């Protein structure tokens, strides 16, 4: 049977870091799920009652602390609902031949869990089989609503085509409407209609945005694309306003005129319902090399926080930073589309889950670092010695609405560990999901796992 382990971390955090007050960022509890093989934590959301929605992918039988979920083949997606103390409430597996991936989860209408991702060949959701549109081992996108009480399927939809379609981000507005964002090649079936890409036949990806009712009924869609690759990265909602991020190559027009990429660039833009789907501002993220957007989060005042990774020079709006080494960045864009501030952390990579960034007055950022990362005038340093094989550790940063780091922590095992995604509950407590690749010393307390890679969930004090 799969199981779990607990850990506790010292107040100052393993490997250094900083705090402005004793106990800030202290761990409240932690769980490492999975006894065998490999499990990856991918995404997390928090219900308004404090319960947690956690999703990931697994390569063997798996448990979130409840009944064991049987693995079928390749990668299966798993979704678990935990209480605020990490206790198991319910869990389900989305299985089938080939791969079933999950990239996003959100708390939906009536506290249901809404999940989205991609699958090849087929996916079984609570016993309901969805076949791939064309069984060629490419992928189709899916979105599903799971009941808040027991995780049973309420409804599910797939969006397919002859090549690859993948849902990578989603958000739910106050009316319970669901916005699903993702990538597709050549064309995609949306709402029973065939939607071609901007340049069919070139083998490049475009971006879709699908709007569904709370019952899953199709309402509308938008497509963004050009002759080069375009990829959906993130979406956040504040009332009737949507903030979206797209990475692109070539020249991309999201509604306010084309932006031309220097290499692989990104754009963050604001879209409103009135007038319908109007883009009110856009901010170009550019510079030498590749600029990756990992996540966006509403600041609650009409603006948005943006996080990602870069190396070399980074320009966001009128602000510019340079790093000789890979660095994570964090930027604030106000309600008028002006970049208010830009921070970067040398030696770090922003998380690859959904979302690696959360904000409710103050914010959290997670990700990974290799050997060391710089936070203001301090270093977070790996605990491994120079004689040990180097690998990645994970970090967690707490910051205020001006980007000032309030506290920081770094920890990890002897293997490659990942801080994939974070969320904040109503009390300001932070929850992290990611990977733990072996036993670790977290503060003065060890955490043991027999899995090759375990799915990690941990909660920290404000």
**Domain layout of the chain by residue ranges:** 4-460
Q: Are 427 and 10 in contact (CB under 8 A)?
A: no
Per-residue pLDDT of 13-24, as tens digits, reads 333 344 446 678
142-157: per-residue pLDDT in tens? 999 999 999 999 999 9
What integer pLDDT is reported at residue 384 of this predicted model? 57
The Cβ of residue 43 has, within 10 Å, a number of other Cβ atoms equal to: 27
More confident residue, 375 or 298: 298
Split at pLDDT 50, 70, 90, the class of 95 is very high
141 pLDDT more than 90: yes
The predicted pLDDT at position 281 comes to: 97
Of 163 and 215, the one with more pLDDT: 215
pLDDT per residue as tens digits for the range 302-332: 999 999 999 899 999 999 999 988 999 999 9
Higher pLDDT, 152 or 190: 152
Fold held by 4-460: Methylamine Dehydrogenase; Chain H (2.130.10)
Q: Which residues contact 180 (CB under 8 A, 6 or more apart)?
A: 116, 141, 143, 167, 169, 170, 208, 209, 210, 212
Reported as a pLDDT band with limits 50, 70 and 90, residue 93 is very high
pLDDT value at position 97? Answer: 85
32-91 pLDDT, tens digit per residue, is 898 888 999 999 999 999 999 999 999 999 999 999 999 888 899 999 999 999 999 999
pLDDT in tens, 360-410: 778 999 999 888 888 877 787 776 544 456 678 888 999 999 999 988 888
Interior CA angle at 149 toward 145 and 152, to 5°?
45
pLDDT attached to residue 271: 96
C-alpha to C-alpha distance for 109 and 17, rounded to whole angstroms? 39
* Sequence-distant contacts of 221-226: CB under 8 A, at least 24 apart: 221/190, 221/191, 221/195, 222/277, 223/195, 223/197, 223/198, 224/252, 224/254, 225/197, 225/198, 225/199, 225/252, 226/198, 226/199, 226/250, 226/251, 226/252, 226/253, 226/258
């Amino acid at each position: 049977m799969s199981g779990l382990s607990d850990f506790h971390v010292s107040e100052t955090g393993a490997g250094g870091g900083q705090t402005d007050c004793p106990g800030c960022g202290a761990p409240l509890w932690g769980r490492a799920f999975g006894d065998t093989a490999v499990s990856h934590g991918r995404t997390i959301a928090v219900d308004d009652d404090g319960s947690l929605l956690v999703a990931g992918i697994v390569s063997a039988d798996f448990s979130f602390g409840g009944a064991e979920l049987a693995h079928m083949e390749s990668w299966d997606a798993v979704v678990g609902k935990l209480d605020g103390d990490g206790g198991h409430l319910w869990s389900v597996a989305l299985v089938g031949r080939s791969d079933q991936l999950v990239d996003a989860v959100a708390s939906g209408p009536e506290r249901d869990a809404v999940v989205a991702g991609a699958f090849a060949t087929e996916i079984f959701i609570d016993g309901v089989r969805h076949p791939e549109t064309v069984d060629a081992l490419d992928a189709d996108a899916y979105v599903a609503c799971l009941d808040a009480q027991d995780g049973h399927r309420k409804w599910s939809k797939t969006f397919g085509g002859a090549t690859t379609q993948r849902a990578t981000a989603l958000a739910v507005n106050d009316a319970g409407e669901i916005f699903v964002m993702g990538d597709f090649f050549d064309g995609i079936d949306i709402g029973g209609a065939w939607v071609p890409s901007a340049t069919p036949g070139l083998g490049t990806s475009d971006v879709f945005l699908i709007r569904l009712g709370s019952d899953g009924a199709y309402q509308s869609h938008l497509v963004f694309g050009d002759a080069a690759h375009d990829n959906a990265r993130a979406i956040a909602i504040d009332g009737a306003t949507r903030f979206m991020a797209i990475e692109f190559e070539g020249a991309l027009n999201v509604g306010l005129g084309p932006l031309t990429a220097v290499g692989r660039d990104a754009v963050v833009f604001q879209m409103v319902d009135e007038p319908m789907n109007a883009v009110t501002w856009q901010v170009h993220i550019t510079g030498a090399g590749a600029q990756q957007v990992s996540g966006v989060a509403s600041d609650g005042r009409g603006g948005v926080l943006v996080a990602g990774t870069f190396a070399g020079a980074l320009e966001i709006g009128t602000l510019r930073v340079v790093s000789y080494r890979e660095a994570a960045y964090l930027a604030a864009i106000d309600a008028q589309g002006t970049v208010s501030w830009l921070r970067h952390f040398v030696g770090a990579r922003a998380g690859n889950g959904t979302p690696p960034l959360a904000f409710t007055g103050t914010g959290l950022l997670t990700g990974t670092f290799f050997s060391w990362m710089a936070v203001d005038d301090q270093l977070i340093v790996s605990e491994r010695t120079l004689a040990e094989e180097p690998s990645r550790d994970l970090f967690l940063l707490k910051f205020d609405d001006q980007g000032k780091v309030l506290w920081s922590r770094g920890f990890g095992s002897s293997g490659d560990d990942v801080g994939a995604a974070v969320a904040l509950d109503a009390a300001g407590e932070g929850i992290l999901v990611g990977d733990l690749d072996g036993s670790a010393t977290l503060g003065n307390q060890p955490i043991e796992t027999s899995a090759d890679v375990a799915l990690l969930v941990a909660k920290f004090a404000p």
